[in-house]
Amino acid sequence: MQGGAGPRVGTSKGGVRELVWGYLESSGLADAPRPVHGRIPNFKGSHQACCSIKELDAFSRASVIKVDPDKPLEGVRLAALQARKTLLVPTPRLRSGLFNRIVPPAGATKEILRICSTSRGIKEYSVPVGLDGKVRVDLVVVGSVAVSEKGWRIGKGEGYADMEYAMMVSMGAVKEETPVVTIVHDCQVLDISEELLDDHDLTVDYILTPTRTIKTNCKRPKPQGILWHKVSYEMLAKIPILKSLRYKEKQTGKDVTLQDEHPDLANANESTALNEKAMPGNTRPQAAMGSAQLGQQYVESDSLSPRLEGSGTITTVYVGNIPPNVRVSELKYALREFHATPLKVNWQGAQHRAFLDYKDKAAAESAVSSLKGLSLGGNTLRVELAKNQRNKGQVEINSQKLI
């Protein structure tokens, strides 16, 4: 805390976190859930700090507010619901998308609104918001472990708040001028060296404590989007929506090479994909090769090869919610990009669906995992194992095309 009692400033982000967590616990300021270590810490007086948000013009003007699900921000979520604003909360660890919208039941009482603002309410009264929901967020509220009066912020170390903001930028949901607010105890306001900040770190415009409202006048630019060179394949696997955003940005020509992806290999794959996309649908060199396989690319064919038909292990994946403006070529391109190339595609565009055949259940389940969260043409696709698996030799072949 600046100019008073509080934890002494650390020389690293990890050091700052440990000092703050330890001080909150030892001083009796920590509140449930405890211990606060490893969390955005809840503290005594958090509700009072949250109530201050109602005095901000940024809150009064906002129609859509995104608030993190942390316990100390519960009062902000309640204030947003009481003011009849649209409340968005990030999905836990971004596993199933980016946002959930909290929708209280019609005629909700004050007590129901209070429940809606809690972790229980987030589970019981929320509906997912798709990647292409054209969301425009007017105010962002994040939790912090420590923050400086200049607006430098340190989170709990997992990077989700920073990633959420970068993803919102990528989606066009926020602009540079969209205000960012954090709620902390006074002892969490520290002198933090700017040298501790990375270029992906989110800064804040307002700090609300139980005793103060601080306007930071922060001049450091906020993240301008997802820094793909800092995203790993492991993170891509953990956050399915990242795959869709990467796919969309790659189509616009952006460099989306990952942290652990070899640049030369990425460029080679990009060149191959673009060359294939430029070719007329039925003039690819592979088309004259029957049912032969070239790398991961399969030629067009109306029947499975005898070897595959005889295996009896083919498993089918259902893809639904396909928009009418999406063509089979777009789906096939996405399947290649997401490393989910099937043996066959049974395209049923008129019914807004497709069926993908894989060599066995393991390959099919891997494809479902890879394609989870994929968005095409404005819709988030529904991807799951087909409920009625077809027997070998009885595969529908209407308009079937291999990748």
Asked whether residue 132 is domain-assigned, the answer is yes
What pLDDT is attached to residue 393? 40
Asked whether residue 5 is domain-assigned, the answer is no
Assess whether 365 and 271 both reside in one domain: no
Assess whether 206 and 254 both reside in one domain: no
pLDDT in tens, 380-396: 788 999 887 654 444 33
Assess whether 45 and 190 both reside in one domain: yes
**Contact assessment for residue 133 and residue 86, using Cβ atoms and an 8 Å cutoff:** no
What pLDDT is attached to residue 369? 82
Assess whether 263 and 243 both reside in one domain: yes
Assess whether 263 and 356 both reside in one domain: no
What pLDDT is attached to residue 320? 92
Short-list 268, 115, 260, 88, CA closest to 174: 88
Assess whether 254 and 140 both reside in one domain: no
Assess whether 342 and 369 both reside in one domain: yes
Assess whether 246 and 354 both reside in one domain: no
What's the number of domains the chain is made of? 3
Asked whether residue 36 is domain-assigned, the answer is yes
What pLDDT is attached to residue 262? 62
Asked whether residue 7 is domain-assigned, the answer is no
pLDDT in tens, 49-60: 999 999 999 999
Asked whether residue 323 is domain-assigned, the answer is yes
Asked whether residue 226 is domain-assigned, the answer is no
CATH number at residue 116: 3.40.50.10420
Assess whether 108 and 134 both reside in one domain: yes
Asked whether residue 56 is domain-assigned, the answer is yes
Listed in order, strand segments (DSSP E) in 136-189 are 139-143, 146-147, 153-154, 180-183
The stretches in the chain having pLDDT less than 50 are: 1-4, 265-266, 268-311, 391-403
| Domain hosting residue 100, numbered range | 13-215
Long-range contacts of 54-59 (CB under 8 A, 24+ apart): 54/79, 54/83, 55/213, 56/179, 56/181, 56/206, 56/213, 58/138, 58/139, 58/179, 58/181, 58/205, 58/206, 59/83, 59/139
Asked whether residue 92 is domain-assigned, the answer is yes
What pLDDT is attached to residue 20? 96
What pLDDT is attached to residue 277? 41
